[in-house]
Amino acid sequence: MRNILDLEGRLVGEAPIDIDTTRRLYRAMVEARAYDKKGTTLQRQGRLATYAPLLGQEAAQVGSAAALDPNDWMVATYRDAAAMWMQGYPWEVLFLSRSGDERGGRPPVHVDVLPPSITVGAHMIHAVGIAWAEKLLGTSRIAITYFGDGATSEGDFHEAMNFAGVFKTPTVFLCQNNGYAISMPRERQTASATIAQKADAYGMAGEQVDGNDLFAVYAATKEAADRARAGDGATLIEAVTYRIGPHTTNDDPGRYRDPEEERAAHDRDPVERVRRYLENEGAWDGDWEETVQAKAATTIERAVELAESLDSPSPADIYGAVYEEMSPDLRRQLEGIES
């Protein structure tokens, strides 16, 4: 397993980014955590429909997204808000998607990030199709897709990996192995020693990295993206991390997890690891931390205000969004509602 930054924030390999970039990504991880805490709070207050926390997976998402070009495609899931935001999906639109508002699936037109997938695994096929299209067009753009360890037990995983291997599509498969598919532990899903080694069966590169190590995730993703851009095909990255929170706000992990396991996961906190590194390098102090935390809180509160300030969609908005031209049957239904 690739590891560059140990638990105490000390380098055990070569840092792939400079101090200024590390500080920028640390701020991004702090902001992602502020979003995550706010998301859970809003759901408890009945202001979001449901919420899937990403607590503990900030390095896997921020580190991988930071290694992409701005115009690369991203196809992710309901738990990948930090990665999607890094690639341009606004926080307020992400909050909208969690509230059940369909406008949450409509990022700005210049953002090539698909709406968060709810169906487990099916979106990987979309990423491969997009990557194949870019290859046929002769561009240098690639597609990255995010999924959990549970998705690798789905048939869609096989179809996506097989097609990507045969046609050498410029795709990066980023598996966040957080230990559980809802309540099913990873060892009950697959007898494979690692998820990364499944890449061998599809004729593509595969690597297991410490998913709580910002540097290791960044370096592995950058190499995979460069490989894809060079025409050398897809890569499967297994980022080993841990889902500290519940599967969703409707889940109680206390029914299937040992509390000691969760406590140990806090010792591997990816945000704290980078903070220690910056402190060791003389690039962190308490005043700066307060500034970072305050800005993150302000940004997230503003995103909530923006999301909740939108007028509710009208029946005409809903019916008009189904087809380019409204069918006679839908028009009759709309007229019935509006009469």
Cα distance between residue 153 and residue 156, in whole Å:
9
Residue 168 CB burial class (10 angstroms; 0-12, 13-18, ≥19):
middle
Q: Which residue reads 């909208």 in tokens?
A: 96
Cα distance between residue 307 and residue 301, in whole Å:
10
Q: Which of 256, 263, 302, 332 is catalytic?
A: 256
* Closest alpha carbon to 244 in 44, 94, 60, 71: 60
Q: Which of 33, 247, 268, 275 is catalytic?
A: 247
Cα distance between residue 224 and residue 202, in whole Å:
16
Containing 136, the helix (H) or strand (E) segment is helix 123-137
CA angle 120, 31, 276 (to 5 degrees): 105
* Closest alpha carbon to 27 in 294, 280, 239, 218: 294
User: Is 51 designated active site?
Assistant: no
Cα distance between residue 115 and residue 106, in whole Å:
7
User: Is 266 designated active site?
Assistant: no
Q: How many CB atoms lie within 10 A of CB 54?
A: 26
DSSP state of 11: B
Q: Which of 227, 243, 268, 276 is catalytic?
A: 243
User: Is 126 designated active site?
Assistant: no
- Say if residues 307 and 96 touch (Cβ distance below 8 Å): yes
Containing 26, the helix (H) or strand (E) segment is helix 19-44
Cα distance between residue 118 and residue 31, in whole Å:
23
Q: What is the DSSP pairing of strand 171-177 with strand 235-240?
A: parallel
Instruction: List the catalytic residues.
Output: 243, 247, 256
